[in-house]
Chain A
Amino acid sequence: MQSIDPVHETVNAVYLSDSRRVLATLIRLLGDFDAAEEALHDAFRAALEQWPRDGVPTNPRAWLVSAGRFKAIDAMRRRARFDPLDETRAEADLGIVDPVAAVDPESVEDDQLRLIFTCCHPALAPDAQVALTLREVCGLKTEEIAQAFLTPAPTLAQRIVRAKAKIRDAKIPYQVPSPAELPERLDAVLRVIYLVFNEGYAATAGASLTRHDLSAEAIRLGRLLVDLLPEPEAIGLLALMLLHESRRTARSSPSGELILLDDQDRSLWDRPLIAEGTQLVERALASRRVGPYAIQAAIAAVHAGAPHPAATDWSEIVGLYDLLLRADASPVVELNRAVAVAMRDGPSAGLTLVDAILDRGDLQEYRLAHATRADFCRRLGRTADARASYVRALALTKLEPERRFLERRIAELGG
């Protein structure tokens, strides 16, 4: 029997709360991801040896950064013994760092931002950005990421290795982008976070509709980003994710069936998440620099504010979609606007808009366009048209609960 050692518990707690921040600083100090990861593990190993003997340091994070840095210098000196040319370089790389500046709170916060922007650099392949962010910023294990994305672990590990090699060989800098570069680079970061969220919220393939852990990870990332860089779109994205998340338990039945917004039990919606999301929407809108994420969050907030479906302010929602089309025009946004117009003016108005999109040749392969058209036709009593469109949607869906939902709809149309 082994008694629980309080110092070991402290080390574990510090690992959970601070290991990613220590890693971010070590990457800056050592200029290399792999050396920093090795140094991080050496530093925690040293903590497990020394803290029980010497006591827990006042500033554990600073202690770990400093220990990791010295372990890395040791490792480089050991290697330099075999390669004398390297010695001066190792000393030069590591010697000039001011240990006080290395751990002062402001540069440590910047280190986390540096890490996020480096992992989400657009010169890396999009799937590599996602994998690297979850690995380095969130600290997920390679196997966990592979499982969540239904990817073989060796493939994912290879992706991360290649991304790190590109960071090193193409010299992607470890820095927060300049104000001129910031809008585009922030877009890339937000895209990665939202992709992780959506992968967890509505899986595009597989039996389960939600993979909760990924959504929770994305929200954690969103909160971190808002803390570090409170840009309106970062706030808008966090609001959007929280408002979606608030409906998680209401959007599928215990047997895993998909439940549409109209049919959801609104008493299941998570009120504290809605309150937080709505407050963030207001904060983003107040900035007067409104972008697509904040507008989508505002739309979600209008839904969240309606106690029952009939109380939804559809005029407000159509207005927000008009705004969204101006900020970020796309056929999918047009489709969503058509749904809102149908709710405000009736299914026939919606059908005209959807047919215009499909006739143009857009969204032909998009299952929700056909499901939406089918729904409008069903409400207009055009049963044959409705069935044809449901069948088209069914052929395009890869998600099991969606397939069952569409099959139910087709059965309800009768013969």
Chain B
Amino acid sequence: MKYLCLVYLEEQKLHAVPDTECAACGAGLRNSGLLVAAEALQPVATATTVRVRNGRMAITDGPFAETKEQLAGFYLIEARDLNDAIQVAAKIPPAREGSIEVRPIRELNVP
């Protein structure tokens, strides 16, 4: 059984917890064999939303999910840049029904 643990924070508290502490937590979970993948995200202003309707792709700025929509899954992908990530996102099947928020991963700032 896999579980997704989603981290919610107010924007101004994004850096309230030191990155070193998060990195240590991740390393600990990985060593104990409990971790599949963990990443920090860039702020919501960097988000891009991709939708596909009638075979046409629409790209918009921001994380404008419909209020009816709920988080239904996630893909952690490797892409060269945002254009490539958008191409991948458009191929994720639920893009036809809902929307895919593309958010860049933030590298933890640890020495």
Q: A122-B59, A184-B57 are in contact. Are A169 and B83 (CB under 8 A)?
A: no
Q: A170-B42, A170-B48, A171-B104 are in contact. Are A122 and B83 (CB under 8 A)?
A: no
Q: A122-B59, A128-B61 are in contact. Are A166 and B46 (CB under 8 A)?
A: yes
- Is A162 a contact of B83 with CB atoms below 8 Å? no
| Chain B interface bracket (under 10, 10 to 19, 20 to 34, 35 or more) | 20 to 34
Complex interface: chain A residues within 8 A of B45 (CB):
162, 165-166
Min CB gap A336→B, angstroms: 25
Min CB gap B86→A, angstroms: 7
Q: Which residue of B lies closest to A181 (CB)?
A: B83
Per-residue contact bits, chain B 74-106, to A (CB 8 Å; 1 contact, 0 not): 000000111100110000000000000010101
Min CB gap A388→B, angstroms: 38
- Is B61 a contact of A173 with CB atoms below 8 Å? no
Per-residue contact bits, chain B 17-60, to A (CB 8 Å; 1 contact, 0 not): 00000000000000000000000001001111000000011011
Complex interface: chain A residues within 8 A of B102 (CB):
170
- Is A173 a contact of B59 with CB atoms below 8 Å? no
Q: A123-B48, A166-B45, A166-B46 are in contact. Are A171 and B57 (CB under 8 A)?
A: no
Complex interface: chain A residues within 8 A of B87 (CB):
181
Q: A123-B86, A165-B45, A166-B45 are in contact. Are A172 and B81 (CB under 8 A)?
A: yes
Complex interface: chain B residues within 8 A of A181 (CB):
83, 87
- Is B82 a contact of A123 with CB atoms below 8 Å? yes
Q: Is A268 an interface residue (CB 8 A)?
A: no
Min CB gap B75→A, angstroms: 16
Cβ-defined partner of A124 (8 Å) among B61, B86, B104: B61
Q: Which residue of A lies closest to B47 (CB)?
A: A170
- Which A152-182 residues sit within 8 Å CB-CB of chain B? 162, 165-166, 169-173, 175, 177, 181
Min CB gap B104→A, angstroms: 5
Complex interface: chain A residues within 8 A of B86 (CB):
123
Min CB gap A31→B, angstroms: 11
Q: Which residue of B lies closest to A124 (CB)?
A: B61
Complex interface: chain B residues within 8 A of A165 (CB):
45-46
Min CB gap A161→B, angstroms: 11
Min CB gap A165→B, angstroms: 7
Min CB gap A317→B, angstroms: 29
How far, in whole Å, are A172 and B48 apart by their CA atoms in the complex?
11
How far, in whole Å, are A177 and B62 apart by their CA atoms in the complex?
21
Min CB gap A115→B, angstroms: 15
Min CB gap A352→B, angstroms: 31
- Is B82 a contact of A122 with CB atoms below 8 Å? no
- Is A169 a contact of B104 with CB atoms below 8 Å? yes
Complex interface: chain B residues within 8 A of A124 (CB):
61
Complex interface: chain B residues within 8 A of A184 (CB):
56-57, 59
How far, in whole Å, are A175 and B82 apart by their CA atoms in the complex?
11
How far, in whole Å, are A396 and B5 apart by their CA atoms in the complex?
50
How far, in whole Å, are A125 and B60 apart by their CA atoms in the complex?
7
Cβ-defined partner of A123 (8 Å) among B56, B57, B59, B106: B59
How far, in whole Å, are A177 and B81 apart by their CA atoms in the complex?
12
How far, in whole Å, are A126 and B64 apart by their CA atoms in the complex?
14
Complex interface: chain A residues within 8 A of B80 (CB):
173
Min CB gap A412→B, angstroms: 46
Min CB gap B111→A, angstroms: 9
- Is A173 a contact of B62 with CB atoms below 8 Å? no
- Is B62 a contact of A125 with CB atoms below 8 Å? yes
Complex interface: chain B residues within 8 A of A177 (CB):
83
Per-residue contact bits, chain A 295-311, to B (CB 8 Å; 1 contact, 0 not): 00000000000000000
Min CB gap B11→A, angstroms: 13
How far, in whole Å, are A21 and B82 apart by their CA atoms in the complex?
24
Q: A125-B62, A166-B46 are in contact. Are A173 and B57 (CB under 8 A)?
A: no
How far, in whole Å, are A292 and B80 apart by their CA atoms in the complex?
34
Min CB gap B92→A, angstroms: 17
Cβ-defined partner of A125 (8 Å) among B61, B81, B106: B61
- Is B46 a contact of A175 with CB atoms below 8 Å? no
How far, in whole Å, are A169 and B105 apart by their CA atoms in the complex?
9
- Is B81 a contact of A173 with CB atoms below 8 Å? yes
Q: Which residue of B lies closest to A168 (CB)?
A: B46
- Which A202-256 residues sit within 8 Å CB-CB of chain B? none
Cβ-defined partner of A170 (8 Å) among B56, B57, B60, B82: B82
Apart from A122-B61, A173-B80, A184-B56, 11 more pairs, CB < 8 Å: A121-B82, A123-B60, A123-B86, A125-B61, A126-B61, A162-B45, A169-B104, A170-B42, A170-B47, A181-B83, A184-B59
Which residues in A have some Cβ–Cβ distance to B below 8 Å?
121-126, 128, 162, 165-166, 169-173, 175, 177, 181, 184
In the complex, the 8 A-B pairs of residues with the closest C-beta atoms, listed nearest first: A173-B81, A123-B48, A122-B59, A125-B61, A170-B46, A171-B81, A169-B46, A172-B82
